[in-house]
Every structure is written in structure tokens, then in C-alpha cells.
Structure 1
Amino acid sequence: MGQPVLGILTLYLNDNGLLEEKQVYQKMTAAGRRIGLEVFVFTPQDVNYKQNRIFAHIFDASKKTWTRKWRSFPHMIYDRCRIQRGHRFEQLGKFRKQYGHLTFLNRVLRNKWTVYRTMRKEEPYRPHLPLTRLYEGQSDLSEMIKKYPLIYLKPINGTGGRGILRIEKQKGGTYLIQGRDQSRRIISPQRVPLAGLHGRLAGWNLKGNRYLVQQGIQLKLPNGRVHDYRMLVQKNGSGAWEVTGCAGRIGASGSITSNLHGGGQAITMSKLLRQWIASEDTVLKVTAKAEELGVQIAAFLEESYGRLCELALDLAIDRKGQIWLLEVNPKPAREVFLQAGERDTYRHAITRPLEYAMWLYEQKKRRKEKSAVPSATNPGT
């Protein structure tokens, strides 16, 4: 089969050919070369469907330059495409449909609502899932508001904290609305009475934009900033799930989310958890439980939706040490570990998908060699 080749599938961010995560792909190319794996980058726009060839982006690690070359299809495809609106995402759908028979490191994970319902069916995960409803009308919001003093409204396919709203009941019966618009800009906090809540939210088109209503977990630190934890679970070079790392995230002042792109900051999990929970024994138990839960969730979702190679789990931990799964991200960034000062974890986060790709390639090679061996009872085959 020759030298194994991995194609990283991504999307241009605009019509000028801007690639997201280019520096990460440079690191992956260099790391791949060290273990005998060739890596190139491409988008659905770079595919010649008639000739089954790809006009690939190739990084030369020694010269630190990018070039374009026509290449055959790679042995494996690592899908890093994040949701977009418009023609580029439509082209991705066409590519996945036509080449879905190829070897992908990771298949498409479903939207937040489908993942929630799938996990909700399994008793071990229920205690870790904030109650969530699909917004189909005002009654869904009204019933959740009556049940919980804090709720979140989230787009069913949103990423990076875009379009999220936080609604918290205040003394006197009013409700505080905070959040970010679709461009991640923080919107001015607003206090409204219950009777005016639905009217104030009308401009968000919650039903048309497909929103979820989720039970909120109180996560404000003494300084008023929210926090959570980003756990990265990846397949290793033996094809097994493993927790690569978990880092804390603290949101920007006035932000309802902890996303780094929204101005948040990263900190080690141990440091943040010890600020939040006084008991050292509880901290150690929670850390171990979170890692165990992370591996179980990754394995379960892979069993439910097809092959995966990595997942980021956004976790909340309340004052009692209860672990809550806020969100699952199948196309995770890695910078949180770099910003938290965990360089070894960041390096592993870069290399593990490559090591898994090599393992997958070897498995495929062995199966091919085995099928090519003539049968002892049928020497002529």
C-alpha cells in the first residue's frame, strides 16, 4: 500500500481561499512526517470529481512553505469541517455523499438535540445531563422558567458561544437576560417582567432558528465570571479512547460563556477546581470520575453514530462535585491547553489523531494481506 497518506478535510472560511487552523495543520504535517505519515489538506472545492483527484494544499516543514499539487485520494480522511451557512457547506454535503465509502477517521456527529436524546435513553448518563427541551413554542420556555431559576437558550447547531442567551430569575419576579449575538458580541443585559419575556425574545426567532432550552447550572465564580471545563478525549495509537487532557475556562467579564474566542481565559483544571471546591478529597474524586465518564461517553457516541477519533466535552461541575455534560464538540480546537500552559498535553492533542490514523492504516493493511493469502483448502483461489 506504500506510505500511508492522510488527507485533512476542511472548509474555506471565505471565497478568497482562507483556511482555518492553518498553523495546526502545519504542526500535524511535521508530526506526521516524523512517524512516517504523509499529510495534506484539502476542501470539497479542491476535488475534481471526474478524475477523482485533489488539488491539495501541501506544507513543506523544512522550508515552512505551502504549495498546491494535484494528488490522488488519500488512504484516510480526517474531517475537520465545522458548520457554515452557504454554498461551501452544500459542497461538503455532496463530497460526503459521493465519497462516504472511503476510510474516515471520524464520521459526522448529529446535532445537540439528537445527541441529547440518544444519551438520555441511557440510565448511567441521565444524572449528568441538564434537562433540555427543543423550543417549539412559548410554552417550552415558560415551563422551563417555572421549573428552574436559571436557563440557557442555545442554537441546535451553534458553536463558539454564538447566539446563546442566559435567563435568570431575579428578586421581585423580573428576569435578567444576557448573552451573545451570532457574531459573538456581548449584548447588553436586560431586566424584564415575566409578561414581557417572550416579546423581548421575539427578534431571536427561536423556533425558526431551531433553539434548545436547557436547565442552567450555577457556575459563577466569586468575581462574577462563569467557568467550565474542556475535556479532550481522543483515540490513541492502539485505537483505544483516552483522555488527552482537561483544562478550565473562565469567561470574559460580562460574558455568559467561557469560550476562548469570546475573550475567555484558560487555566489548569486542578487549579480552577481547587478554587471552586474546598475539599481536596472531592477534587480528586471528581477529576477521576470526569475522566472515566469522558471515555464512556466517547465510546457510547461512537457506537451510536459511527467511527469517531476525538471529541471535546464541555463539562460543568457544581459546588457539590456533580458533573454535568453541557455540550459535545466533534471538531475540537486544542489551543485551550496551550493557553493553560500545558504544552505536553497540547502536543499530544496534535499527534494523537495521526497516531490513530497510522493504527487504522495498519489494521486495514493486515486485513488486505490476510484476504490475499490463498486458502489452504482451496490453493487455487
Structure 2
Amino acid sequence: MSKKKVAIQISGSGLLQDDVVMLGDKFLKQWKIPTGRPLILAFGSLSQEVTVLSVPKYEGMRMSPSFAKKLGLIHRSVLQIRYHADSRTLRIGPLISVLISRDYPEQLEKPFGSITMFCRELVGACQKQGAYVYFITPSHVETVTGQIEGWIYDDGWKKTVMPVADVINNRLTSRKLENKPSVQHFVKEVKSLYGTEMYNEKFLDKHEVFEALKTNAGLKRYLPESYLLKSFSRFKSMCLAHPVVFLKPVRGSLGKGIIRISRQTDGSYLTHATLVGGVQKQTYPTLAKLFTGLSGKMKTTKYQIQQGIPLIDIGKKPVDFRALVQKNNTGKWKVTSIVARIAGGSHFVSNLARGGSLSTLKEAVNKTSLPPEVKKNALAQMRRAALDIAAAIEETIPAHFGELGIDLAMDTSGNIWLIEVNSKPSKNDNTPLSDNKIRPSVKAMLEYSAYLAGF
């Protein structure tokens, strides 16, 4: 079994029958592909019996327009090719689909809103590396057949009918969409019927993550004290044990709904709560009154109560770090990037959605008052922590993840702490988009998808 990239050429109408493909003689000789006798051509979920004809001094694959349409392929698509002699199957691919939350068909310049540029970048990466990608939303998966309507890029965005992909990357941004019965049914069906692999298949909640990681003794040094908030006694013991604690919605994201509670010298308690327009401050004379004040929110939102960490800061603005950890082309975890995130204005959270800004890890750490030796080892320490945490998530939580956004903090003594783990990391949180360059995060996503598909 060998593999090689091949460009797809669509012949003029009527020149080729739908059950005939033409292939360069170099491929045929290299893999001993039989000509003039039927074999199976497979692309995603689609398999069709075809006869292969040889073309001298040619390194592409030719097919008829109607057959290309059936496959969903456009002219000059670049794919990898594999021949499995035992099953007489010629596979082209990998075929990848990305499940996104919504599309805007009336906006053909920007049909996927803010992630359109990422989608376009992934298309370019596939063309360079040898793969094919299309994009689907929950509205496309209402019924499960061997084909599905999705978006492709062909000198502009357009919809076409595609085979079910070898691999699906779940980029849904809401639990409500992910838990729709039609989406769950689709995932179950494509896995069982076509052997489709799906990764980042579920959201993580904060309680689930911390409870799972607590079982790993080697990670203890990274974990702040953290519990699901269920009672006043737990609330009181945490607030008395730590000068600062955080209440975080178990299923929150982008810093929404976080409450910082700090004990004052007079015994009162000051809260800072993230709101759409900024931060709301409030003082409570006792813990009992503070708990009563929170009880309304606790009826509708589950909170994780967590030990506050004395974060390093730059000009009194707290700094934390986002490590993007991805599986590589051999299925192993690797750190793609680590960036520093500096809180903006009066905010105590660093999310870009809350006015935070990005910096390189080295630049940020060097602007702090940390000792020189700690600054020197910061990157290596964070890489180690991120990889250890990713491996533990995979071992303890029963779901398939291919990339994780791991938020880390460093305290004023140089210790590293876990803030949270995100299974749907933003594509705009590491390195900026470039017109010509494919970001390492996009390339890694493609390489892992190809690995999963067997290419």
C-alpha cells in the first residue's frame, strides 16, 4: 500500500463514461493497479465500481463531469490516493467535513460569519496538502443518507451534495445545537454506517474537568481547590480558606457570568461580576448576606467555586495563558501555540471578548516581576503542564478530542495553575490570519484528520 497526491481533471462532457477513470501510468506501475478490469473507487462514504485506464506520462486522474458531480469534486482538486490490493479498492481523500453552528446563505461573501476566513484558510490548506473539505450545519443533518448537502469553495462559496466525510470536526459553539436529537442521531448513524470519525465531539463543563483531573495524582500541583457549589457550608469554608474565590458558571464561556469574591480587611466581602458592559461591584457585610444575594442566580445557573490565584500582572492587569494543544499526524498530543492574554480595562478576566489583548508568552513574562530563572523556564513548564492535562483529559473523559484550548495561570511565585479546558477553542485566539500563510493550528487540524482517515 502506497500513497501519493493526485490532481483531479474533469474531462469534457461525453469523453468519458461515468464508470471509467483515467490514471497516470506511474501510479499504475508503482502499485500494480489492474487496468481494464473493475475495481472499487472510494471517496468518503461513496464507493463505486470503475474501470481504470492508463494515461502515459501523466500524473493526474481524469473523470467525467457527471461522476465528478456525484463525488462533489471540482476541477483541479488535489487529493491523496491509496490503493488497497487486497480489497481492490482505490481510495481518494481524505474527505473532511466541519460541523459549524450556522450559515448565512444570503451572504455569499461571508456565509459563516466571523469564522468564514478560517474556513477559507482550511480550504487552501487542503488544496496544498491533498485533502477535500466541506462545511455543514445542524440544518443539513436532519436526515441521514449516504449523501449530504454542504458548502464547498470553488472560486466562491456554493452548496453541493457530498458523500458523508471520512472525518468530521465538531465546531458547534452551543450545547443546545450539539444536543439536538437530529444532530445526535446523525453522529451515531454516520459512525455506525460509514465508520466516520468525529472529534471534539462534546463540550466540557468545568466541574466535569476538575473532578476527572483530581483522580490523577501527577496533576495535583496544577489544580486550584475547586468544587461544585451546592451548599452554604461549602461556600463559607472556601471563602474563609482563601482571600479570593471565583464563582464560575459550570457551562459558561468567554468569561460570562464569572463572579470574583474578595475578603476585605474589615471582614466584609466585595464582589466583581462580569456584565456585558463591564464589571459590577457590590459589597456585602457578611457571608450569609452574600450567599443570600447569590441564591437567585444559583436557581438557574450551576456554579463551580474555585480558589483564587494571585496572578502575575502587567501594570496591575492580570495575565493568563491559552495553550492550544492538538493531535498531530501520528495521533499524539503536541503544543501548537501558547499566547499570553492580558485583561483589559477594569476587567479581571482576560478573554478577548471582554477587551483583553494578546501577547507572546516571552514578552508578557519578561514584563512581570518574576525572578529571572522562572522567566527562563516559563515556556517549558507551561508546555509540560498543557501536555499532561491534555493526556489526562483523554484518559479520564469518555469522548474523542483532537484539540483542546487549555487556559493556564502563573502565580507570583512562578507556580502554574489550570484555569479551565475548552474543547472548542477559538481559531482567532492564537496567531493572526495571513493572506498567504497557513497557520500551524489549521495545518495540525488537517494532518490529524488525514491520520484518522487513514491517509
How does the TM-score come out when normalised to structure 1?
0.86
Q: Is the 8 A contact 1:290 1:323 kept in 2?
A: yes
Q: Secondary structure at the match of 1:39?
A: strand
Q: For residue 58 of structure 1, what is the amino acid of its counterpart?
A: I
> Are 1:248 and 1:272, in contact at CA under 8 Å, matched by a contact in 2?
yes
User: Could you tell me how far apart the structure 2 residues matched to 1:345 and 1:175 are?
Assistant: 50
CA contact (8 A) 1:57 1:68 kept: yes
Bigger shift: 345-354 or 234-243? 345-354
Residue identity opposite 2:454 in structure 1: E
Q: Report the AA paired with residue 149 of structure 1.
A: P
SS in 2 for 1:337: coil
Instruction: State the 1:105 CA deviation.
Output: 3.3
1:346 positional shift: 7.6
Pick from 282, 300, 319 the counterpart of residue 392 of structure 2: 300
Q: How many residues matched? A: 356
- Structure 1 residue 93, shift from structure 2 partner: 3.3
Q: Given the alignment, which residue of 66, 72, 85 partners 2:163?
A: 72
Change beyond 3 A, Cα 1:361–1:100: closer
Residue 69 of structure 1: CA displacement?
Answer: 0.9
Query: Tell me, what secondary structure is at the counterpart of 1:117?
Result: helix
Q: Give the aligned partner of residue 267 of structure 2.
A: 173
In structure 2, give the amino acid aligned to 1:9: L
Q: Which residue of 1 aligns with 2:125?
A: 31
Write the deviation string for residues 93-129 of structure 1: whole angstroms up to 9, x where unpaired.
Answer: 3433444443113332542211111110111111111
Higher mean alpha-carbon deviation, 225-234 vs 285-294, is at: 285-294
AA of the residue aligned to 1:352: A
SS in 2 for 1:228: strand
Normalising by structure 2, we get a TM-score of 0.72
What does the per-residue CA deviation read over 1:184-239, in whole Å, with 9 as the maximum and x for residues that have no partner?
442421122124212322332x2531111011112262533222000111112232
State the distance in 1 between where 2:146 and 2:234 align.
48
* Native 8 Å contact 1:150 1:168 kept in 2: yes
In structure 2, the partner of 1:198 is 291
User: Letter of the aligned partner of 1:130 in structure 2?
Assistant: P
Q: Which of these residues, 251, 254, 270, is aligned with residue 362 of structure 2?
A: 270
Query: Are the counterparts in 2 of residues 154 and 165 from structure 1 also a CA contact under 8 Å?
Result: yes
Confirm whether residue 336 of structure 1 aligns to residue 429 of structure 2.
yes
> Which structure shows the higher strand fraction?
2
Match of 1:237 among 303, 320, 329: 329
Do the aligned residues in 1 keep the contact of 2:144 with 2:189 (CA within 8 Å)?
no
After superposition, residues 247-266 of structure 1 pair within 5 angstroms as: 247-266=339-358
* Residue type of the alignment partner of 2:95: V
Partner Cα distance (1:5, 1:15) in 2: 23
Match of 1:325 in 2: 418
Which residue of structure 2 lines up, in the alignment, with residue 111 of structure 1?
205
Q: Output the amino acid matched with 1:36.
A: G
Q: Which runs of 5+ in 1 are unaligned?
A: 364-381
1:123-163 deviation digits (Å, cap 9, x = unpaired): 11111111111011222222211111101111111111111
Alpha carbons 1:276, 1:319 under 8 Å: kept:
no
Separation in 2 of the partners of 1:345 and 1:150? 43
User: 2:323 corresponds to which letter in structure 1?
Assistant: M
Q: Which amino acid aligns with 2:441?
A: A
Alignment of 1:227 onto 2:329:
no
**How far off its partner does 1:70 sit?**
1.4
Q: Compared with structure 1, are the counterparts of its residues 248 and 344 closer, same or farther at alpha carbon in structure 2 (3 Å cutoff)?
A: farther
CA apart distance, 1:307: 2.9
Cα distance in 2 between the residues matched to 1:344 and 1:303: 37
Q: Which amino acid aligns with 1:77?
A: I
Letter in 2 for 1:78: N
Contact 2:323 2:386 in 1 (8 A): yes
Give distance in 2, aligned partners of 1:93 and 1:117: 25
Once residues 129 and 270 of structure 2 are traced to their aligned partners in structure 1, the CA distance between those partners, rounded to angstroms, is: 53
The residue number in structure 2 matching 1:372 is: none
CA deviation vs aligned residue, 1:269-327 (integer Å, no higher than 9, x gap)? 01111222432221222321211121122122223334321111100001111100110
Between the aligned partners of 1:327 and 1:345, the Cα distance in structure 2 is 30
**Aligned-residue RMSD, C-alpha:** 2.6
Amino acid at match of 2:318: V
CA distance 1:98–1:207, shift in 2 (3 Å): farther
For the pair shown, which has the larger CA radius of gyration, 1 or 2? 2
Q: 2: CA distance between counterparts of 1:20 and 1:238?
A: 31
